Chains A and B, each alone.
Chain A
Amino acid sequence: RKEVEQDPGPFNVPEGATVAFNCTYSNSASQSFFWYRQDCRKEPKLLMSVYSSGNEDGRFTAQLNRASQYISLLIRDSKLSDSATYLCVVNGGSSGSARQLTFGSGTQLTVLP
């Protein structure tokens, strides 16, 4: 079983749509959670951290369910510029160090005009 699992997609949605991505993680000791965005042939960039109470940043809302070991990202009013791969990330990994981050394989989103 992968440590961080995401639906690879692709998700193709029209502009203005709301889209949700889900992610599950296997390490119950994980304490920090993030969503990263990666554009084609570019490096991953931090989109937002995910907090236990849920948090919002403009059109983006992240939720965490520790009991189910589940993270979600909701994008409202999708823009063409939101087209990218979204990576679910949790801390911890095979080294046993909290410094290590484990990345999901990513969910590809294409927003269509």
Chain B
Amino acid sequence: DVKVTQSSRYLVKRTGEKVFLECVQDMDHENMFWYRQDPGLGLRLIYFSYDVKMKEKGDIPEGYSVSREKKERFSLILESASTNQTSMYLCASSPTGGYQPQHFGDGTRLSIL
């Protein structure tokens, strides 16, 4: 089974802090994704990556950056956290190429105070 592991289930940070969310997958998947999920808005793609050191903007990249230094690890960075970034963050991965289903981690519930 695919295992996607997110570093924290719950995280509380303060406005203005730099926040790192980490995600690791163990299936040698090429593609990795970061989403946020908010009530009534569904899952929205923030960034994705299809190779080491490669990244592509999703639908809502503003206020976020990402890092992929190794194939198995994809980090989401909130450069200066704001209260409107309080959300559930979900990491996902999928195999080589496109058209494949994605496998999700358990999610990180992030609160910015």
Where the two chains meet, the residues of A that have a C-beta atom closer than 8 Å to any C-beta of B are 31-32, 34, 42-46, 49, 87, 89, 91, 93-95, 97-106
What 7 A-B pairs have minimum CB-CB distances, sorted nearest first?
A: A98-B98, A105-B42, A43-B104, A32-B99, A103-B43, A99-B98, A46-B101
Q: Are A100 and B90 in contact (CB-based, < 8 A)?
A: no
The size class of the interface chain B forms with chain A is: 20 to 34
Q: Are B50 and A106 in contact (CB-based, < 8 A)?
A: no
* Distance (whole angstroms) from the CB of A73 to the closest CB of chain B: 15
A-B pairs with beta carbons under 8 A, tally: 66
Enumerate chain B residues within 8 angstroms of A102, measured Cβ to Cβ.
45
Where the two chains meet, the residues of B that have a C-beta atom closer than 8 Å to any C-beta of A are 31, 33, 40-43, 45, 48, 50, 56-59, 90, 94, 97-107
Known: A97-B56, A105-B41. A44 touches B99 (CB 8 A): no
Q: Are B100 and A32 in contact (CB-based, < 8 A)?
A: yes
Known: A95-B56, A100-B45. A43 touches B98 (CB 8 A): no
